[in-house]
Chains A and B, each alone.
Chain A
């Protein structure tokens, strides 16, 4: 779960990481009031999409009138389809240098990794590899001062700035760990006459650990349909084509979409209804897909713990109760496939044995 900048900064504050003084505002009037209080300000749209600065979502103002005008302009904008409900109005800080600091997870090393660079304020992908210091942390020893001194040495940092890092990095690491974060990023990390200040905050919390963070708000970037699928415990992604796809297992669902595209079709969605789904869950998956009004329905079942008779029963049930009047290409093999096929054949529904044939048929049907 990605957090808005202002939420990330609230958490920074909780962990004693310095952030600029700020006000969160919901209309241009409030932005004016905030500027009256804070003086020279920077106004930032609160959206989850990156590159908001380049898109015009960040502005400076030196008086309340200007702040109101800029806030009003930004409220009218949308960023990758998202309009901001809130803006963050922050005091403008005196930045001497922009640095980069983050803690994230290195899957290959199975460890948290500290990323630090003297080149901050730009897209992290644009920082040259040799200018980005990476330090994996063994969780059994945690963040130790020697690691920070070593990171600083490799960056070419010493003296007062090293002292600043020795204060800051343990706090960022503690927050990363205690909040079950996947990413805690400060970019830019501003070097000011008052020391290091987090000028931005990108914090992502592990979705699978949210159950132990009931105090955090819930933020979703999902579409309404994706939210509905989430409630049904289905992995679902909207893709925009006209062939609705339903399969069991993440890998085979991806492979099915790839094959649809390979044969010239356009998949409408990714839907993995999981292994071992019962009739109810299978029916709900089907109903969800039918609700998206696709041109063709492609079902690809390779039953391991998923039973073919259960899928067939669910399909026939939905067909009888709701009606399925679009063309269907159905592949059904694996556990209890004979039972499954005979249930479908009674309803006059043909099935394919191979994934390849079923996908080609679906693409032909979509014409």
Chain B
């Protein structure tokens, strides 16, 4: 597993593509997103979900930098989502629910992180997976509270005390997701450029060296883990507030797999990768489902295979390569 993670981020790790090269694509991307959301109203919903998932995948990207793959990250997404669903009947203010969901996910991330950062590679991945399945089982079995697999409906939300129309609300959620995506993107960029962020790459190459330098690898990884949990929780809150219905499916291992899938698809080289991957994933899925309702899984799988075979750096790797050549 760590082998695949290594090869994933190698193209990016080799070339510190943190140059000016990211700014223009990011701005273009934002413009394209807004344009598409405006031109095709129903895609606004799909893109909001994509942005939310992109935020969660940013967290995965941090861990990938350290060569660790979490196969249970959906637990933070589900924590954020269920926080919104549970609290919404009492407090409908979206601008309060969002930080609350992020906070709870962060706390869970800290608790889980203290334990899992002692492990590496397959053990790290599997422990995350196991813990996320514990959460899944709880959500499914505590039927009295969670309504089991039927899930919970998120009641109508207010934004800064106002209850907007459906159309406005969709734009608000889209805008909120976009804003948070930009903020977290910038944060992750700054973080990865900082000594703490650089130390993550140290964990991947050789941890002992870090320790010799007096840096605690465990602490470095824990910080990244908690940050990724925060982003997972934020993403979950956004998903819950957008789709307005949460089910335990959110915490299931396939959902975690989906996040890793998106990370691979987008490429781990840049903070843009997760959003590229998430948008590509959601759009491929939705168009594949529209074209062949029976076999969309096959199309999605084929896309991933093609990316792994021909563009190991993901979509970002492809784009960055092209930009570098043209520059």
Q: Do A and B come from one complex?
A: no
- Which B positions have Cβ atoms within 8 angstroms of A? none
